[in-house]
Amino acid sequence: MTTPTHAHPAMTPPSGSPQPQPPDQVAAAEPSGQEPSSPGPRSARVAQTGRARSAAGALRAAAADNLMMAIFGPVIVLLLGYSLYTTNDRFGEINDRFGEINDRFIAHEASNDARFAAQDAKIDALDAKIDEVDARLTARINELEAKLTALIHEVDAKLTAQINELDLKLTALIAALGETDEVDAAVAGELIAGALPGPDSGASPPEPP
């Protein structure tokens, strides 16, 4: 079934007016070296419609860009702010962590210093005890040495006195023995002289055994 089409009166050109052509056909139909003829009313409307559409597209693109910026701009700003906030918090946590580590290091160093000071105090106390024991031993050794020296001198004096006394006694004994020998010799001489017969007696001298 076909439906007859009726052209709009405003769209139908007059019978005596020339039929409008597209601009590219008009440019191709005109000879080279001549200026193009002015476009007709339809070409002007088409160009105006194209420009309007281009302007509308540009406006729509600009509106879309503005809408995107209006939507995503605050989101991006919020994300940047949140990232900066979290980064600042992270830096604060890292700074606090370094502070805790520094405090622990200082406390550990103080503990080591106190421990070393306690060890030094113990070593000093041991040195003092060693010095005290050394002084006591030195005094005791000196005392024993003095006593031993005095004992040696006392024994030496006693032995010397005893030796001198024995020497005197031996000297007296030797002297006494010397006198006894003289007496014995005199007595023996007298006895021998009395036992021997005289020259006037007629007895003969005893024969030797």
pLDDT tens digits, 49-102: 777 777 777 777 777 777 777 777 788 888 888 888 888 888 888 889 889 999
> How many domains in the chain?
1
Contact between 15 and 2 under an 8 Å Cβ cutoff? The reply is no
Confirm whether 196 is domain-assigned. no
Q: How confident is the model at residue 184 (pLDDT cuts 50, 70, 90)?
A: low
164 lies in a domain?
A: yes
C-alpha 122: how far from chain center: 24
Decide if 103 is inside a domain: yes
Structure tokens at 146: 């003095």
In a domain, 208, yes or no: no
Q: Residue 8 region, left (φ>0) first, then alpha (ψ -120 to 50), else beta?
A: beta
pTM of the complete model: 0.34
Spatial distance between the Cα atoms of 62 and 58, rounded to a whole number of angstroms:
6
CA distance 200 to 205: 12
24 inside domain: no
118-144 pLDDT tens trace: 999 999 999 999 999 999 999 999 999
- The whole-number pLDDT of residue 34 equals 44
**How confident is the model over 146-183, as pLDDT tens digits?**
999 999 999 999 999 999 999 898 888 888 777 666 66
| DSSP H helical ranges for 23-40 | 23-29
| Region label for 14, one of left (φ > 0), alpha (ψ between -120 and 50) or beta (otherwise) | beta
pLDDT of residue 181: 64
The answer to whether position 15 is within a domain reads: no
Does 52 map to a domain?
A: yes
Place of tokens 């002084």: 135
Say if CB 42 and CB 31 are below 8 A apart: no
pLDDT for residue 100: 92
CA-to-CA distance for 180 and 5, rounded, in angstroms? 203
The domain in which residue 66 lies consists of 47-186
The residue length of the chain stands at: 209
Using the predicted structure, report yes or no on whether residue 30 has a pLDDT greater than 90.
no
Q: Under a CB-based contact definition with an 8 Å cutoff, are residues 43 and 23 in contact? A: yes
Q: Is residue 32 part of a domain?
A: no
